[in-house]
Amino acid sequence: MSLFWRIFLINAAVLTAATVLVLLGPVTVSTPFVLTEALILSAGLVVMLVANALLLRVGLAPLQRLTRAMTTIDLLRPGPRPAVTGHAGIAALISTFNAMLDRLEADRAASNARALSAQENERRRIAQELHDEIGQTLTAVLLQISRVADQAPPDLRPELHQAQETTRDSLDEIRRIARRLRPGVLEELGLVAALRSLFAEISHHSGLQIRRDFAPDLPALTEEVELVLYRVAQEGLTNVARHASASRVDITLIPHRDGVRLRIRDDGRGIDNQPEGAGIRGMRERALLVSAHLTIGPGPNGGTEVTLDVPDPAGRA
């Protein structure tokens, strides 16, 4: 039965009941009416309105729940679907809405996968060009400055040595950028070695004290999962170094419910209900690629805690 006919029948039932009561009841209306008759009719009207409101509230309650779900839904934070309740048209509407969410999440996941794959390929290309082109050019410049400095007059050698050091620093910075764009250690030595290298680099440049706790019995992880864990850790530590005003970060990587859990805790100023930026949304998009659950909130002792729970790949299949 459609929603129109349900509302019509509810109102018809109330009006029919009122008509029957008027026909069979002892109440009559005089001309002009007296106060008692007016009170009785007013009381009957109130009863009809209350009964109609209650019946409509019960009948439309599933629509109210659907409206709340529509206002709070976030494709980056998949949650339970609205329960399919109600009759006919309402149940069909909720089922259609749930099916639409499934399609949107699937389309978004596929779109994110393509976008992030293209992003990783572009990072790899840029890192390769930095290493092969700019890196080699700076190396050649460094060697040339070194030869010129050996043959230059003594009064010019300090300036040439300074240019040599500046070039060497630039070369080191180029290599550091290339490593962050394309974590070659991740491909060659695995996730744990790549994370250790990342922590050492960020700690050196930011002064953060990073304490790590990696479980020795981590389950086997796919390349996709390792890349997601690495990028989330990279973005999380970058946010701490740039925005948290923290001095210490604790990072754990442990088995969790047949999968793994990455947790990053800092002692900074916290997020203070600030709107999520592009970095955090990028972390959420990466988490969706491997059906992981990302939570970001205050830590137990202040600061911010980022937790990424990645399920077992077999369970996702």
Q: Are strands 248-256 and 209-214 parallel, antiparallel or unpaired?
A: parallel
Residue 316: per-residue pLDDT: 52
Walk along the chain (317 residues) and give the pLDDT tens digit of each residue: 556 666 777 777 777 777 776 666 665 666 666 677 677 767 777 777 787 777 777 777 777 777 777 777 776 777 677 778 766 677 777 888 888 888 887 777 777 777 777 777 787 788 777 777 787 888 888 888 888 888 888 888 888 888 888 888 888 888 778 777 777 777 778 888 888 888 888 888 888 899 999 998 888 888 888 889 998 998 999 888 888 888 899 999 999 877 899 999 998 888 776 777 778 888 888 888 888 889 988 888 888 999 999 987 655 54
Average pLDDT of the chain? 80
Q: What architecture is the 184-310 domain classified under in CATH?
A: 2-Layer Sandwich (3.30)
Is 24 within 8 Å of 65 (Cβ atoms)? no
Q: 3-class DSSP state for residue 265?
A: strand
Tokens in use for 237?
């530590």
For 211, other C-beta atoms within 10 Å of its C-beta total: 11
DSSP state, 290? T
Ordered by start, the domain boundaries in the chain are: 120-181, 184-310
CA separation for the pair 240, 208 (Å, rounded): 9
Q: 23-79 pLDDT, tens per residue?
A: 666 656 666 666 776 777 677 777 777 877 777 777 777 777 777 777 777 767 776
For 37, other C-beta atoms within 10 Å of its C-beta total: 14
The residues that bridge with 297 in the sheet, in sequence order, are: 305
CA separation for the pair 235, 74 (Å, rounded): 21
DSSP state, 94? H
Residue 179's φ and ψ, nearest 5 degrees, are -65, -35
Residue keyed to tokens 């410049």: 141
**What secondary structure does DSSP assign to 135-196, as a single string?**
HHHHHHHHHHHHHHHHHS-TTTHHHHHHHHHHHHHHHHHHHHHHHHHS-HHHHHH-HHHHHH
Residue among 91, 102, 96 at smallest CA distance from 61: 91
Query: pTM for the whole thing?
Result: 0.62
Q: Could you list the beta-strand ranges (E) of the chain.
A: 209-214, 248-256, 259-266, 293-298, 304-310
Residue keyed to tokens 């389950």: 219
Tokens in use for 127?
């890192």
